[in-house]
Chain A
Amino acid sequence: MTTKVSTPEMKSLHFQPRTPATTTGDKVVGAVSHTALTIWTLIVILPLLWTFMSSFKTSSEIFASPFALPGEWKLDNYVKAWSEAGIGSAFLNSVLVVAVALVIVMVLGAMCAYVLARYTFRGSRAIYYLMLAGLTFPIFLAMVPLFFVLRNMGLLNTLPGLILVYVGFALPFTVFFLFSFFKSLPHEITEAAALDGAGEWRTFFQVMLPMAKPGLASVAIFNFLGLWNQFLIPVSINAAGPRVLSQELAAFAGQMGYAVDYGALFAAVSVTVIPVLIVYVIFQRQLQGSVSQGTSK
Chain B
Amino acid sequence: MTSVKTQQSRNDDGLAAVVPATAPPQLVKRRRKPLTWDKVSFFAVFLGLPLAIYLLFVIWPFVQAFGYSLTDWSGFSPNQNFIGLENYTKIFTDDIFMKAMGNNILLVIFLPIITIILSLVLASLVTVGGSSKGQIKGLRNSSFYRVVSFFPYTIPAIAIGIMWGQIYDPSGGLLNGILTGLGFDQFKDFAWLGDKNTAMIATMFVIVWGFVGFYMVLFVAGIKGIPAELFEAARIDGAGRFRTAVSITIPLIRDNIQTAYIYMGILALDAFVYMAALNSGGGPDNSTLVMAQQLFFTAFSKGQFGLASAMGVVLAVATLIFSGLVFLVNRLTGGDKDVSL
A186 on the B face (CB < 8 A): no
Contact of B199 with A by CB under 8 A = no
B330 at the interface (CB under 8 A from A): no
Given contacts A112-B47, A138-B316, contact A262 B166 (CB under 8 A): yes
Select which of A119, A134, A199 is within 8 A of B58 by beta carbon.
A134
Can you list the 9 inter-chain pairs with the closest CB atoms, starting with the nearest?
A: A20-B133, A168-B57, A292-B221, A66-B177, A33-B129, A145-B64, A141-B312, A142-B61, A145-B61
From the candidates A30, A168, A246, A265, name the one contacting B139 in the complex (CB within 8 A).
Answer: A30
User: Is B305's beta carbon under 8 Å from chain A?
Assistant: yes
Contact, CB under 8 Å: B319 / A171: no
Specify which chain B residues have a CB less than 8 angstroms from the CB of A138 in the assembled complex.
266, 269-270, 312, 315-316, 319
* Chain B residues closer than 8 Å to A44, beta-carbon distance: 148-149, 151-152, 209, 213
List B contacts of A273 (CB < 8 A): 154-155, 159
A21 touches B29 (CB 8 A): no
Query: Does B145 touch A at the CB level, under 8 Å?
Result: yes
Contacting pair B133 A288 (CB below 8 A): no
Best-buried of B5, B133, B154, B224 by chain A (most CB within 10 Å): B154
Taking a contact as CB atoms under 8 Å apart, the answer to whether A141 and B158 are in contact is no
B-chain residues with CB within 8 Å of residue A30 when the two chains form the complex: 129-130, 139-140
Q: How large is the interface on A (under 10, 10 to 19, 20 to 34, 35 or more residues)?
A: 35 or more
- Given known contacts A141-B315, A180-B2, what 7 new A-B pairs fall within 8 Å (CB)? A33-B126, A127-B47, A142-B62, A149-B60, A168-B58, A288-B217, A295-B256
- Determine if B57 and A149 form an interchain contact, defined as CB atoms under 8 angstroms apart: yes
Contact with B along A1-37 (1 / 0, CB 8 A): 0001101000010101011111101100110011011
CB–CB B299/A144 < 8 A: yes
Q: Which residues from A are CB-within-8-Å of B39?
A: 200
Residue of B with least CB distance to A119: B29
Is A193 on the interface with B (CB-CB < 8 A)? no
What string of 1s and 0s marks CB contacts (under 8 Å) between B30-47 and chain A? Answer: 100000101101110111
**Hey, which chain A residues are within 8 Å of B224, CB to CB?**
292
- Asked whether, in the complex, the Cβ of B50 is within 8 Å of the Cβ of A249, the reply is no
A37: B residues at CB distance < 8 A: 122, 125-126, 139, 142, 145
The minimal Cβ–Cβ distance linking B183 to chain A, given in whole angstroms, is: 15
16 pairs of residues in contact across A and B, judged by CB atoms under 8 Å: A5-B140, A33-B126, A48-B163, A66-B176, A127-B47, A136-B323, A137-B316, A142-B58, A143-B312, A149-B56, A228-B156, A239-B300, A250-B162, A250-B277, A273-B159, A284-B147
A183 and B312 form a contact (CB under 8 A): no
- Given A44-B149, A272-B156, A277-B155: A66 and B172 interface contact (C-beta under 8 Å): yes
Stretch at the interface among B8-16, B83-91, B94-102, B105-113: B8-16
Of listed B58, B164, B305, B315, residue having the most chain A CB within 10 A: B58
Contacts of B284 in A (CB 8 A): none
Known A145-B68, A168-B53, A292-B225; contact A265-B140, beta-carbon cutoff 8 A = no
CA separation between A120 and B52, bound complex, in Å? Answer: 20
Whether a CB of chain B sits under 8 angstroms from the CB of A297 is yes
Q: Is there an interface contact between A137 and B57, defined as CB atoms closer than 8 Å?
A: no
Query: Does chain A have a CB within 8 A of B187?
Result: no
| Neighbouring B residues of A280 by C-beta, 8 Å | 150-151, 154
Q: How far is the CA of A50 from the CA of B57 in the complex (A)?
A: 41
The answer, yes or no, to whether B117 is at the interface (CB within 8 Å) is no
Q: Nearest-CB distance from B151 to chain A (Å)? A: 6
Q: In this assembly, does B308 line the interface, its C-beta being within 8 Å of a C-beta of chain A?
A: yes
Interface string of A114-142 (1 = CB under 8 A from B): 11100111100101001101101111111
Given contacts A23-B133, A108-B49, contact A134 B59 (CB under 8 A): yes
Interface 1/0 per residue, B158-185 and A, CB below 8 Å: 1100111111000111101100010000
Contact code string A161-201 (vs B, CB < 8 Å = 1, else 0)? 00011011101100100001001000000000000000111
Check A200 against B42 for contact (C-beta < 8 Å): yes
Q: How far is the CA of A165 from the CA of B61 in the complex (A)?
A: 11
Tell whether, in the assembled complex, residue B167 and residue A50 are in contact, meaning their CB atoms are under 8 Å apart.
Answer: yes
* CA–CA, A167 and B166, complex, Å: 34
Q: Are B28 and A47 in contact (CB under 8 A)?
A: no
A158, B266: Cα distance in complex, Å: 29
Residue pair A14, B135 in contact (C-beta under 8 Å): yes
The answer to whether B295 has its CB under 8 Å from any CB of chain A is: yes
Asked if A63 contacts B171 (CB within 8 A), the reply is yes
Minimum CB distance partner of B132 in chain A? A26
Chain B residues with CB under 8 Å of A225's CB are 153-154
Chain A residues with Cβ under 8 A from B270's Cβ? 138-140
Q: Is A232 an interface residue (CB 8 A)?
A: yes
Using known A-B contacts A29-B241, A145-B64, A297-B2, determine if residue A114 contacts B151 with beta carbons closer than 8 Å: no
Residues of A within 8 A of B243 (CB): none
Please give, as numbers and ranges, the residues of chain A lying within 8 Å of B323 by CB-CB distance. 136
Complex-state Cα separation, A85 to B241, whole angstroms: 53
- Residues in A with CB closer than 8 Å to B70 are none
B166 touches A51 (CB 8 A): yes
Distance of A116 Cα from B47 Cα, bound (Å): 8
Q: Which chain B residues (62-77) contact chain A, with CB distance < 8 Å?
A: 62, 64-65, 68, 75
Q: Mark A259-297, 1 if CB is under 8 A from B, else 0.
A: 000100110010011001100110010011001100111
Note all chain A residues with C-beta closer than 8 A to B194: none
> Measured between alpha carbons, how far is A146 from B153 in the docked complex, in Å?
28
Q: Within the complex, what minimum Cβ distance (angstroms) separates B244 from chain A? A: 12
* CB-based contact A43/B209 at 8 Å: yes
With a cutoff of 8 Å between Cβ atoms, the chain B residues found around residue A82 in the complex are none
- Is B137 at the interface (CB under 8 A from chain A)? yes
- Most B CB within 10 A of own CB, among A45, A139, A144: A144
Residues of B within 8 A of A169 (CB): 57-58
**In the complex, which of the residues A4, A25, A137 contacts B141, with contact meaning CB atoms closer than 8 Å?**
A4
- Residues of chain B contacted by A36 (CB below 8 angstroms): 121-122, 125
Q: Which residues of A contact B202 (CB under 8 A)?
A: none
